[in-house]
Amino acid sequence: MSLFIMAIIPPEINLWFWINEEILRWIDRPIEEISIDELSYNLYIPYLESLWTDDWNLTPQMLIDNFKYETQHANKVKNADIKYPIEIYFFKNKRIILDWVHRFTKIMMSWAKKIQVRKISEEILPLIKKTDAEFRKWKWEIIN
């Protein structure tokens, strides 16, 4: 994986590798309920790409503010099933979202006080790293 690609990831969430969400979702972790306030700063982290761009430039708050224009992400938020938890990880003294940003956004829009989470620990990280080939396939690149 090139450092150029990794450099575009916002520093708040740059783990220096890509997450294999499919593996992450199958890892057995307890579900906890925490105050939504513990994750509110995640509203201002650019987890997403704005429509017609290829950059990390859209925060959940920007999505909420521009819901009718960000149709692709708005549909994902509308269809998000909030009965399931989101995946979080403690990184740089904050809990960041590893998976289910659209679910988090929907919960924030509902003015809920609590959110269900699965806390991912440091020892789990090696198990969920996406290989370079998996990343390139995910980005629709041709793999030799």
Note down pLDDT in tens along the chain; length 144 residues.
Answer: 333 444 377 878 887 777 888 889 899 999 999 999 999 999 999 999 887 777 788 999 999 999 999 999 999 999 999 999 999 999 999 999 999 999 999 999 999 999 999 999 988 988 888 766 655 554 554 544
CB within 8 A of 107, min separation 6: which ones? 36, 82, 86, 115
Partnered with residue 6 across adjacent β-strands are: none
Q: What pLDDT is stored for residue 134 in this prediction? A: 58
Partnered with residue 129 across adjacent β-strands are: 19
State how beta strands 32-35 and 94-99 pair: unpaired
**Domains of the chain (ranges plus CATH)?**
30-127 (3.90.1530)
d(CA 124, CA 107): 26
Q: What pLDDT is stored for residue 132 in this prediction? A: 63
Q: What pLDDT is stored for residue 30 in this prediction? A: 97
Q: What pLDDT is stored for residue 31 in this prediction? A: 97
What DSSP designation does 14 have?
-
Q: What pLDDT is stored for residue 16 in this prediction? A: 75
Q: Residues 124, 101, 132, 23: is their CA dihedral positive or negative? A: positive
Q: What pLDDT is stored for residue 136 in this prediction? A: 55
Q: What pLDDT is stored for residue 4 in this prediction? A: 40
